[in-house]
Amino acid sequence: MKTILNEQQLAITIQRLSHQVLENHLDLDNTVLIGIQPRGIYFSDRLVNQLKTQVKPDAIQYGRLDITFYRDDVRKGLHELNQTDIPFSIEDKKVILVDDVLYTGRTIRAALDALLDFGRPAKVELCILIDRRFSRQLPIQADYTGKSIDSIITQKVKVFWKEKDGKDEVALIE
């Protein structure tokens, strides 16, 4: 196992991404953030908490999206259901989808399909913690990237979160 981001680097990366989001969405007016269940919400929770230190907390509209039934691999086994919680309209809003690792692009495609059930956004952007650049199967790329890495198909990127795993770290597992 090789560490890609340690606890301090992870915190700095999330802080940088929050600043980049605010550069493009200064007051978050007409902008919503949506974390992708299950593991993307740990990252999106941290990102939203960081944004709350920089803008009025009530200016942030934040939701969570379960994409289980939109995945094209749902037939390969039972998936644990998560809860979708989007307590606002996304109609004509700027949506920032948030996930931890961008790999093949299939999770993001499923998220885009699921999102359309909630309305038609004016624009959708993607904020990713780790981008596995050379593994894409679909033409999807992030607007905000924490760190890009080169990895081979036999390697796995694992994001550890204190809330779930007892530590904050991003690691490459052989």
Does residue 29 lie in a domain region? yes
Q: Max alpha carbon distance in the chain (Å)?
A: 43
Nearest CA among 36, 39, 40, 62 for reference residue 49: 62
In the chain, % of residues over pLDDT 90 = 78
Does residue 124 lie in a domain region? yes
| Whole-angstrom distance, CA of residue 13 vs CA of residue 127 | 12
What is the arithmetic mean of pLDDT over 37-60? Answer: 94
Nearest CA among 100, 37, 95, 91 for reference residue 64: 37
pLDDT, one tens digit per residue, over 137-164 is 999 999 999 999 988 888 999 999 999 9
pLDDT, one tens digit per residue, over 74-129 is 555 555 667 889 999 999 999 999 999 999 999 999 999 999 999 999 999 999 99
Does residue 161 lie in a domain region? no
Give the CATH number of the domain where residue 93 resides. 3.40.50.2020
Structural element, H or E, at residue 7: helix 7-24
Domain hosting residue 51, numbered range: 8-151
**109, 126 contact by CB (below 8 A):** no
Does residue 169 lie in a domain region? no
